[in-house]
């Protein structure tokens, strides 16, 4: 058995996943972790954290045979590259310009597209076929659109739920942070309920409106897959989200690894379900 470690370095969190490949070359996600993104972290601190995460699952770092990384935080990328060399004795595959995805990028300047957005679009297309829209509820809420032919067309970016709440909290002295939860009514009878209604139902409304506009522009009824920490909560209130995949980005990194290493798993035909 071989094991692949995937690392997604985001603005708020760093997500890790371990995919184990058996004799049939099927990569299965066996473990996953998430830690906060800290720009001041050193390679020594991150190495200790990674070793502790593996130990907590009775896994050995020596089991990792390959590593792939995507990052939207440029200063942290070289630090994580040093960490993987130190802990796993492996040079990672880094998602960036020149990486093989099998997905043409139709952005005016492909270098402007965040690595996580390409990864999400690729995973969504492999999962559902095209046309498809991947919605990621992170620091920013992003919509990534893929055509029927598997082309990355571009998308939409607007502030994430927590980002919006923090901005509102900072600018309005009478308002306070709240849990993102479903209020009893749309019309809030308390400040907390009013904030929860706006954040949850408002976000669901934005998603439905944006998906409608994207479908109209595409001229096709694109499928919608959601990911990110709040995807499940928003999906319940949304009329357009077809499927929630909490580990969409991690799966996308696995697919990119397979495509760039001629891994046997990349040879199998993945049919949309």
Q: How far apart are CA 86 and CA 71, in angstroms?
A: 19
Instruction: Report in angstroms the alpha-carbon separations of 270 from 74, 126, 237, 252, 255.
Output: 32, 7, 30, 13, 10
CA dihedral 153, 159, 163, 164 (to 10 degrees): -160
Is residue 116 flagged as an active site residue?
yes
Q: Which residues contact 126 (CB under 8 A, 6 or more apart)?
A: 251, 252, 255, 270, 272
User: For residues 119 and 70, is the Cβ–Cβ distance under 8 A?
Assistant: yes
Q: Which residue stretches of 129-190 are H helix?
A: 161-171
Q: How far apart are CA 244 and CA 209, in angstroms?
A: 18
Kind and range of the H or E element at 148? none
Catalytic residue among 8, 66, 116, 136: 116
Say how many C-beta atoms besides its own lie within 10 A of residue 4's C-beta.
Answer: 24
The residues carrying an active-site annotation are 116
């Amino acid at each position: 058995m071989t094991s692949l470690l995937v690392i997604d370095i985001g603005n708020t969190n760093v997500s890790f996943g371990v995919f184990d490949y058996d004799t049939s070359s099927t990569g299965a996600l066996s473990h996953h972790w998430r830690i906060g993104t800290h720009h001041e972290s050193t390679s020594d601190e991150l190495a200790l954290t990674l070793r502790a995460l593996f130990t907590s699952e009775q896994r050995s770092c020596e089991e990792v045979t390959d590593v792939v990384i995507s990052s939207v935080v440029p200063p942290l990328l070289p630090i994580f590259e040093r960490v993987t060399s130190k802990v796993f004795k492996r040079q990672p595959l880094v998602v960036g310009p020149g990486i093989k995805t099998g997905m043409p990028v139709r952005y005016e300047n492909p270098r402007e597209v965040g690595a996580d957005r390409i990864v999400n679009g690729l995973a969504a297309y492999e999962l559902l076929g095209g046309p498809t829209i991947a919605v990621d509820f992170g620091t920013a809420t992003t919509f990534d659109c893929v055509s029927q032919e598997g082309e990355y067309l571009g998308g939409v970016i607007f502030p994430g739920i927590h980002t919006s709440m923090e901005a509102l909290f900072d600018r309005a002295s009478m308002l306070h942070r709240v849990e993102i939860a479903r209020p009893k009514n749309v019309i809030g009878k308390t400040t907390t309920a009013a904030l929860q209604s706006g954040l949850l139902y408002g976000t669901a409304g934005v998603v439905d409106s944006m998906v409608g506009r994207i479908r109209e522009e595409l001229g096709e009824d694109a499928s919608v897959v959601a990911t990110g920490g709040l995807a499940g909560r928003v999906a319940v209130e949304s009329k357009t989200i077809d499927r929630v995949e909490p580990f969409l980005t991690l799966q996308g990194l696995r697919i990119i690894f397979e495509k760039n290493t001629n891994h046997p798993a990349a040879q199998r035909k993945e049919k949309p379900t």
